[in-house]
Amino acid sequence: MIKKILSVAGLSVLLSTAHAADAAYYFGVKVADMNADISGYDAGTSQSYEYDNVSAAGLVIGYRVDRELCLEGEITTSLGSGDISSTGAATQNEWDVTTFAIHGVYKSRGITHVRLKAGLTYAMIDQPDALKNNTWAPDENAASFSYGIGLGFETGTDRELVIEWTRISDELSILGVGINF
């Protein structure tokens, strides 16, 4: 939890100084649903497991290269722990995730526009030790190619409402809504 707070605080400082320094920079906030497509069977305990989705929040810092191309850095973290459902388990397991990403973003022209992005995401997944060694369990700390698609809506001078889906890995994707300033 301390790592999450320090990460968010550090990025907040970067966001505030970047926006003041040059209008080519922008920052944003988002809320999202972290979709976990993670499930498996543990032969040792004869139990099936499934990771439930978790709510998340994120911060974005971007740089406009030109009208249509941007570079974005993003940190997203779960707001609470997601459940790990299991058959026959006496205890309830939980998981959390924090992601760090850098993407190239293409924005089509217009007040309403399409957003396409691709880049790298580093995901840190906190899960029970008992599940980490299963072949179906996600890597705890892994970088992967990520991509996404979304819609942007210009809502005023230097403001953009964004709705987008991002595929982080085979196990994780994010569906979120945010605003960039």
Spans in the chain with pLDDT lower than 70: 1-23, 88-91
Backbone angles phi, psi at 143, to 5 degrees: -100, 145
pTM above 0.85, yes or no: no
Write down the pLDDT at residue 84.
Answer: 87
Domain ranges, ordered by start, for the chain: 2-180
pLDDT at 89: 63
pLDDT confidence of residue 137: 77
| CA gap 33, 24 in Å, rounded | 29
Angle ∠(170,10,54) on CA atoms, nearest 5: 35
pLDDT of residue 4: 52
Tell me the backbone φ, ψ of residue 114, rounded to 5 degrees. -85, 140
Strand partners, 173: 35, 167
Query: 157: Cβ–Cβ under 8 A, 6 or more apart, which residues?
Result: none
Q: What pLDDT is attached to residue 138? A: 79
pLDDT tens per residue, range 67-105 = 999 999 999 999 999 998 887 665 678 999 999 999 999
pLDDT of residue 9: 45
**CATH code of the domain occupying 2-180:** 2.40.160.20
Distance, in Å, from the CA atom of 164 to the CA atom of 117, rounded to the nearest integer, reads: 10
